[in-house]
Structure 1
Amino acid sequence: MAIDFPPDLIALERSAWAQIQAGRLTVDTARAVHEVIAAFAEQAGLSRYDVEMGLKKAVRHAEAEAA
């Protein structure tokens, strides 16, 4: 399922992913990502799980798909 994520959600997940890779993800950042994902999923009528997995795939695996 292809989900059209808004740019601000992509940017927030990219920020969280960078923090994870650097070993410095904060609870505040993790909570913010979760809350925005949940709100987007509810508004779009989608499963929060599907939105979260799709977003992670879009951000974390974009380079692999582009190659």
Structure 2
Amino acid sequence: MAIELNDEPIQLRRAADQTRARAAGPYSAEAWRPWLEAAAVVHDAVTEHAKATGQNRYEVEKALVTAVKNAEGAPEG
């Protein structure tokens, strides 16, 4: 069964990825806290989607990662 995702988890994952990119560098709790918080929001969204649709959480997250990667390679417009 194909996993369908709406835009919300995709946007959340993109935002978390951007936050992580800004935090890159030497670790400090202060610098990495925004990414950890954003990652927790993504985790919760994936868990809720999996629960609501009766799908495996791991499979939903895998589909999300693939969707974000595919969207990043897609031309704008």
Which range, TM-score by smaller chain? 0.7 to 0.9
CA 1:17–1:60: 2 relative to 1, 3 Å: farther
In structure 1, the gaps of 5 or more residues are: none
Normalising to structure 2: TM-score of the pair? 0.70
Paired position in structure 1 for 2:62: 53
Give aligned-pair identity as a percent. 32
Q: Is the 8 A contact 1:17 1:60 kept in 2?
A: no
Paired position in structure 1 for 2:12: 12
Instruction: State the shift of 1:42 in Å.
Output: 0.5
Instruction: State the shift of 1:13 in Å.
Output: 0.9
* Alignment-mate amino acid for residue 36 of structure 1: A
Q: SS state of the match for residue 13, structure 1?
A: helix
* CA-atom RMSD in angstroms: 2.0
Structure whose alpha-carbon radius of gyration is higher: 2
Q: Number of matched residues?
A: 65
* Alignment-mate amino acid for residue 52 of structure 1: E
Structure 1 position 33 matched with structure 2 position 42: yes
Normalising to structure 1: TM-score of the pair? 0.78
